[in-house]
Structure 1
Amino acid sequence: MSFNNKVVWITGASSGIGKHLAIELSRQGAKIILSSRNIETLKTVKQLCENPENVKLIALDIEDYTNLKSKVDSAITLFETIDIIVNNAGISQRALARETDIAVDKRLMDINYLGTVALTKLILPHFIKNKSGQIVVTSSIVGKIGTPLRSSYAASKHALHGFFDSLRAELQQDNITITLICPGFVNTNVSLNALTGDGSPQQKMDKATKNGIAPNYFAILMAKAILKKRQEVYIAGFKEKLAVYTKRFFPKILSKMITKLSVT
């Protein structure tokens, strides 16, 4: 198994995990389709890839999820097929639930959940026709546990697990696999862009994010998980992984630990 000549479509590819995954998969011989809202930034990422001639670009706003069909049709025609879609586009949150406007809650769900689901549903007929395909979803450790300042972000990621676990069972007979990637803290701009209570970006780097896994190393681990077709994988530090297993086996203990986290 390898990525050589595999066609991989990555959303949220202009920075962070998406950018570095594109660079890594290009190094491993994949043909890449990059998508985000900013086409100019995607051009920069393309030039960082080992084989830029095998990298195509499609501008896409995942929040505009009712108008994605033409994007999917265009993506399929670029290399005449798609083997893997990496649903990586998303946005985080840094605000107390009681101080978050309901419009911000909705936006988090629109981008992180509904946009991802809509794009997946549109590419499903292509995968089903080919009796082959892999759907990769960038979730989060917060998709398994809830933490302060991330109530609606956690909700959107939890929703992804519910949907894609169900979808995996439905698609078993069609030879379509689903891989849920759960990052812990990764040193990207995710906290800078995280939405505050009024919907404005936080514009501040969290200490934990700054000290997180280097995105290029994360991309190597993510690529391995995709290649092995893992159902669900936690790419995170020891404490974040421990929290997931504590939640599973000792939920009351984790609950006490979570309440001690800073909410300021």
Structure 2
Amino acid sequence: MDFNGKVVWITGASSGVGAALAREWASRGARLALSGRDEARLAEVARDCGETLLLPFDVRDDAALAEATAKALAWKGHVDVAVANAGVSQRSPALKTDMSVYREIIDIDLTAQIAFTQGLIAHMAERGSGALLFISSIAGKVGVPMRTAYCAAKFGLAGYADALRAELSQKGVSVHVIFPGSIATDVSRNALTADGTKRGRSDKAIEEGIAPADAAKTMVDAVAGGEREIIVAEGMEKAMGEMRRTPDQLFDQIAAMVAAGYIERMEAEG
């Protein structure tokens, strides 16, 4: 996949993995639409990214999302690549975590990312082209302690993406799920604790994790190569992810069901 001149829209683009992905795609000639809540930080990222469109909004605001989607599509007439990256992590045991924390994390990390995607799939399917990327986590493959809400959201995001991939397999739209391990960002520092407050400190594993620029290059290379499930991790985290990797044959089998008319038969049955 050649990204030169392509329009890439990234949520959560003001820092961390999202910002690194923006810079990586810009280096390959892509035109970037950047979203996040902090317009000033988005502008800082944009300075490194050539031709950009800033679309600041909170992913939980449905009206703001609809407005941003209209602007993104109007900018160049299409969106070629959409990256559902916005998210928040967690550091608290289930026995002590308030239910409001589960609702907030799942709303941001899962429901809002589905809404972002749903606003674009008809456009991509009608054009017969496009790529959808979902930033899950190794915690979306393996249940990790202190992250029950985060795991639920990231497992759910991968499940939505896998089902969507099958549905769009005859429409020319590719779907890629990325499972990062520890990357040296503020993800742990910004993680929610049991009462919903920010943790305010990082983890040793995160501090010593993969550099965001290196992770972004690996991710974009894998998407360019057509990989559907992309594990970006090292050491034990990589080993855990690989143990739970979905075989390509299974993706192909589900896509074959769609090609054979599965959706049409189900709809005909009511």
Residue type at the aligned position of 1:173: Q
Task: Give the corresponding residue for 2:85.
Answer: 88
SS state of the match for residue 19, structure 2? helix
Corresponding residue number in structure 2 for 1:220: 217
Amino acid at match of 1:8: V
How far off its partner does 1:112 sit? 0.4
Alignment TM-score, normalising by the size of structure 2: 0.88
Residues 1:45 and 2:13 are matched in the alignment: no
Identify the residue that residue 192 of structure 1 maps to in structure 2.
189
- Residue type at the aligned position of 1:45: V
Task: Determine if contact 1:65/1:114 at 8 Å carries over to the other structure.
Answer: no
**What corresponds to 1:205 in structure 2?**
202
Supply the distance in 1 between the matched residues of 2:226 and 2:132 (Cα, whole angstroms). Answer: 10
Post-superposition Cα deviations, 1:118-166, rounded to whole Å, max 9, x if no partner, equal: 1101111110110111100000000000111000100000001111111
SS at match of 1:8: strand
Tell me the TM-score normalised to structure 1 length. 0.90
- Residue 67 of structure 1 deviates from its aligned partner by 4.6
Structure 1 residues 148-192: Cα deviation after superposition (integer angstroms, max 9, x where no partner)? 100010000000111111111111111111000000000000001
1:1-264 correspondence runs (5 A) = 1-49=1-49, 51=50, 54-65=51-62, 67-246=64-243
Unaligned runs of 5+ in 2: 246-270
CA–CA separation in structure 1 for the residues paired with 2:194 and 2:153: 16
Seq. identity, % = 40
Q: Counterpart amino acid of 2:210?
A: I
Which secondary structure state, in structure 1, belongs to the residue aligned with residue 145 of structure 2? coil
1:231 Cα deviation from its structure 2 partner: 0.7
CA distance, structure 2, for counterparts of residue 156 and residue 99 of structure 1: 18
- Alpha-carbon separation, structure 2, partners of 1:16 and 1:87: 14
Match of residue 257 from structure 1:
none
Q: Where does residue 255 of structure 2 map in the other structure? A: none
RMSD between aligned alpha carbons?
1.4
Whichever residue aligns with residue 234 of structure 1, its letter is I
Moved over 4 A (4+): none
SS in 2 for 1:177: strand
Q: Secondary structure at the match of 1:165?
A: helix
- TM-superposed deviation, 1:222: 0.9
Tell me the secondary structure at the aligned position of residue 117 of structure 1: helix
Give the conservation status (yes or no) of the 8 Å contact 1:66–1:118.
no
In the alignment, the residues of structure 2 paired with residue 217 and residue 244 of structure 1 have an alpha-carbon distance, to the nearest angstrom, of 19
Structure-2 separation of matches of 1:216 and 1:246:
26
Contact 2:89 2:190 in 1 (8 A): yes
Instruction: Using the TM superposition, name which of 31-40 and 60-69 deviates more.
Output: 60-69
Q: Which amino acid aligns with 1:32?
A: L
Measured after TM superposition, the shift of residue 69 of structure 1 is 1.4
Q: Is residue 231–residue 242 contact of structure 2 (8 Å, CA) maintained in 1? A: no
Q: Partners of 2:153 and 2:174 in 1: how far apart?
A: 21
Task: Flag structure 1 segments of 5+ consecutive residues without an equivalent.
Answer: 249-264
Offset at residue 244 of structure 1 (A): 2.7
**Aligned partner letter, 2:34:** L
TM-superposed CA distance for 1:64, in Å, is 2.1
Q: Cα distance, 1:3 vs. partner? A: 1.0
Contact 1:171 1:177 in 2 (8 A): yes
Counterpart of 1:260? Answer: none
Q: Secondary structure at the match of 1:136?
A: strand
Alpha-carbon shift at residue 85 of structure 1 (Å) = 0.2
